[in-house]
Amino acid sequence: MTTREWVIVNPAGSRRVVVTKELPGARWLQLLTAADCRVEIAQGEDILTAEEIRAACGEHIDAVIGQLTESWSAEALGALKAAGALIYSQFAVGYDNVDVAAATRLGLPVGNTPGVLTETTAEMAVALTFAAARRLAEGERMMRAGAYHGWLPTMLLGSLLYRGTLGIVGAGRIGAAYGRMLVEGHKMDLVYYDVRVNAELEHYVADYAAFLVAHGEAPVTCRRAEALEELLRACDVVSIHAALTAGTHHLMGAPELAAMKDEAVLVNASRGPLIDEAALVAHCRAHPRFRAGLDVYESEPAMAPGLAALDNVVLVPHLGSATTWTREGMATLAAANAAAILQGWPVWPAAAGLADVAPFLDDPEPPHAAPSIVNAVELGLPRLAAQPQAKEDQS
């Protein structure tokens, strides 16, 4: 196949599935072997090149489970389709590395893994928020270097976030979850910027505000900003949760950074290219009390020159979804997408009440459906029919 080492599971399987990275857990492999798949898993930590992927596909393949670190261009997807593949399934909820339009033209379903990353990624954004605001990375470096010689009244003074103003750029599932965590936990007022009104989030914060008033505390507020600059000028913390598109590339550049407060905190646990990293380096150098927490990078895994030398930036290596439960759940959903399409099953969900992916993760007999196909509508794929309620459920 290639000079890379591969592990083969269920070698007698009639369907051939290539997996471009070792995945956590066991359930995902059980789903594929139950679908009579021969599963070929690439070993090693480095990213497969386009040539390696083409060689791995060979003359015949039924499905690929790939990674967001790989480029699935029209050419790569065309080669996949030419080898007989019925689906490309991504081990991620985002798919900006996949030419979905080209896949749709080829009649190739593209799977992803929503529903298991929301709270986990929101928690990482919260962790970065406090690590940056309270200068935890600087403190840890001080301790490890043996430079702590005793408590001082002015040592590593950070920012108090309690009752501050929180800004969310992109109020989808993860952004809204992050917002609720800080509004509830630290009674921050919330400003969000999104192309859509998030009425559910606004109602939630209003209900929490009423709860606070009922207990003798000041309420919190939630409002949608009409413009990004309006949010940036108002907020003590700005966390980015927007999808990466041509229109959001470098959403945060020099003018946007300049609009923020001098002691603001900027967090990005979404996609690296949403921030102009060179502009961020320059801004952090010029504003030492400005702080940032980053989980993703513009040219990942590389960082912009000078970024690593900044004390006022917290850097972690793309850990947003890195909990055991979430990563195993992602593997399960990615495999379930592939197994379902290979067996001719419909797509989940068909109607309200079938949107939760928990049955794929927990049920001994998961639904006979693909959890999430991003171009299912465009391809006209059938949907799983809603099951009638049992009499005891109706009562």
> 83 is written with which tokens?
């080898």
Active site includes 233?
A: no
Helix ranges (H only) for the chain are 27-34, 50-57, 74-82, 100-106, 118-133, 136-144, 173-186, 199-214, 228-234, 254-259, 277-286, 324-342, 358-362, 376-379, 391-394
Active site includes 300?
A: yes
For the chain, what is the largest distance between any 2 Cα atoms, rounded to a whole number of angstroms?
A: 70
Query: In this structure, are strands 15-19 and 37-42 parallel, antiparallel, or unpaired?
Result: parallel
Contact 338, 61 (CB under 8 A): no
Q: What sign does the CA torsion over 274, 71, 124, 156 have?
A: negative
CA distances 190 to 50, 129, 274, 275, Å, are 43, 15, 21, 22
Active site includes 15?
A: no
Chain position carrying tokens 């791995």? 56
Spatial separation of the C-alpha atoms in residues 306 and 312, rounded to whole Å? 12
Spatial separation of the C-alpha atoms in residues 387 and 346, rounded to whole Å? 14
Contact 386, 350 (CB under 8 A): yes
- Residue tagged active-site, from 287, 318, 368, 383: 318
- Residue tagged active-site, from 38, 224, 271, 283: 271
Query: In this structure, are strands 37-42 and 6-9 parallel, antiparallel, or unpaired?
Result: antiparallel
Active site residues: 271, 300, 318
